[in-house]
Amino acid sequence: MSLTESYLIPETSIWHVSLLALLAISLLSGSLIKLTDDIEDKNLTRSLYAIPAGLAYGLSIGLLMLIDTNAALLFGGIVLGNLITGKIDSTGHYFGLGAILAVVFLYGIKLSPLVLPIAVLAALDEIGDFIQTPKFLDFIFEYRLILKLGILILVILDMLGLNALLVLLTFDAAYMLMDRITGRAAHEI
């Protein structure tokens, strides 16, 4: 049993979840997070609707954390990094965080210390929102390349499984796709 697996509940190791299921849940999670953002930030609809969207993404991320060790470390770090930078800042996201924490505590998910460098990578990705950066660095922060490259390095060093990188890329692709969809919807409203 690897170092990262020993921190999760024993039942997690007997779950055999296909990569396709992980990617499908990642697509759903990325879409719902962006939808939650845009309901409140772009006033797509009544902000009250951000609550069920937040709960849905929180439960889907909680499920990912429950069924896959690498996803647990990835999303544990992302949540911690976003808490550090203050990006969890609206009602929908508070409900999303609450749903994630409910799953983590109800099922006793314990994360290894590897979650800390992932949290730092996630926080560094968000720093472009807080500091003035040169134009040529906009691309890095717009596409969250710090976290992606950091996860890639952790995969190469065999500290995380390849599915962590695939889950992250799928999650971010869904996030960006939903951004385009809601951007068009906001212009039509």
Alpha-carbon span 100 to 113, nearest angstrom: 19
pLDDT band at 10 (very low <50, low <70, confident <90, very high): very low
State which residues form the domain around 40. 5-188
- Whether residue 17 has pLDDT greater than 90: no
Amino acid found at 132: Q
pLDDT at 189: 55
Q: Tens of pLDDT along 34-93?
A: 999 999 887 767 778 899 999 999 999 999 999 999 999 999 999 999 999 999 989 999
How much is the average pLDDT of 2-26? Answer: 64
Alpha-carbon span 120 to 24, nearest angstrom: 26
Tokens of 76: 């544990």
pLDDT at 101: 97
- Whether residue 9 has pLDDT greater than 70: no
Could you give the 3-state DSSP secondary structure of residue 80? helix
Number of domains in the chain: 1
- Whether residue 94 has pLDDT greater than 50: yes
Residue pointed to by tokens 């212009």: 187
Tokens of 58: 């929180």
Q: What is the mean pLDDT of the chain?
A: 88
pLDDT band at 136 (very low <50, low <70, confident <90, very high): confident
Residues 108-138: b if buried by 16+ CB within 10 A, e if exposed:
ebebbebbeebbbbbbbbbebeeeeeeeeee
Decide: 147 and 168 in contact? Cβ < 8 Å.
Answer: yes
